[in-house]
Amino acid sequence: MKVAVVTGANKGLGFGIVRGLCKRFDGDVYLTARNEERGRAAVADLEKEGLQPKFHQLDITDHASIVKLRDHLQNTYQGLDVLVNNAAIAYQFNDFVPPPYPEEAQQVCHVNYFSTLDVCQVLFPLLRPHARVCNVSSLNCHESFCDCSPAVQNRIKTAIHTIEDVNKLINDYVKAAQNNQHLKEGFDKYPYGMSKIGISLMSAIQQKTFDEQGAEDIIVNSCDVGVGGWVATDMTAQYGVSIDKGALNPLFCALLPPNVKEPKGKFLYDAKEYDWWAT
């Protein structure tokens, strides 16, 4: 039995991705969420539509929670076929009251980048041949890249070759933000966009690593959401297209057919490769 996992899926875009996978993926689909009550309520809502998602608790900021999910997948399915890393936070596009900037930068990058990386590192050993990974990024990575200094842009383009390089880039931004030196050091002012630069860079490196290891048709891509980049969720104060339209791009990545040559390790916008670091 094949199995798919979507993180951060009790509402919003993740919920729409689970709905789409339930309709199109030939296997079990796991809706995961930090809060078990809300997660199970979301599953119940989809069951009313005639769909049959499964639930597993997952807090991507809690390593032990990720390990519990891994153990469940290993014991029940002996592998993993689709992983959609959707869970993320933002204060930029909504009415949420942000913490002080240094804390916001640390918090957003910890959840959006480092916790997503932890999910990948724990679950990737389960990926079977022909597995698909979609790391939900954002066109904001392009906007943040354009607002970085030429020196930081050049670093991103030429000096990022490993996950450790990405970690240092994001940590350097967070450290600069703690001292309110991020603009002086050439970083963008928006934590969300900086975190998504990390996701987009990470995805390309993950694909390169799988290729070098000779993995059989495992494909990793990052993507913007939906059509036009805005999806009506709590994160965007309900501005944008429906969650079902928003899910189209992640679903395209998650459901790429076996043995396709492209896209691999790319950033996708409206289901097409997009050069996010073009200025």
173 is catalytic: no
- Give one word for 226, left, alpha or beta, with left for phi > 0 and alpha for psi -120 to 50: left
Task: Name the active-site residue from 192, 239, 269, 274.
Answer: 192
Report strand pairing: 80-85 vs 3-6.
parallel
Among all chains, which residue has been given the structure tokens 């002086």?
184
Q: Give SS3 for 238.
A: coil
Q: What is the DSSP string of 131-200?
A: EEEEEE--THHHHHHHHS-HHHHHHHHHS--SHHHHHHHHHHHHHHHHTT-TTTTT--S-HHHHHHHHHH
Q: What is the DSSP string of 41-80?
A: HHHHHHHHTT---EEEE--TT-HHHHHHHHHHHHHHHSSE
The set of catalytic residues is 192
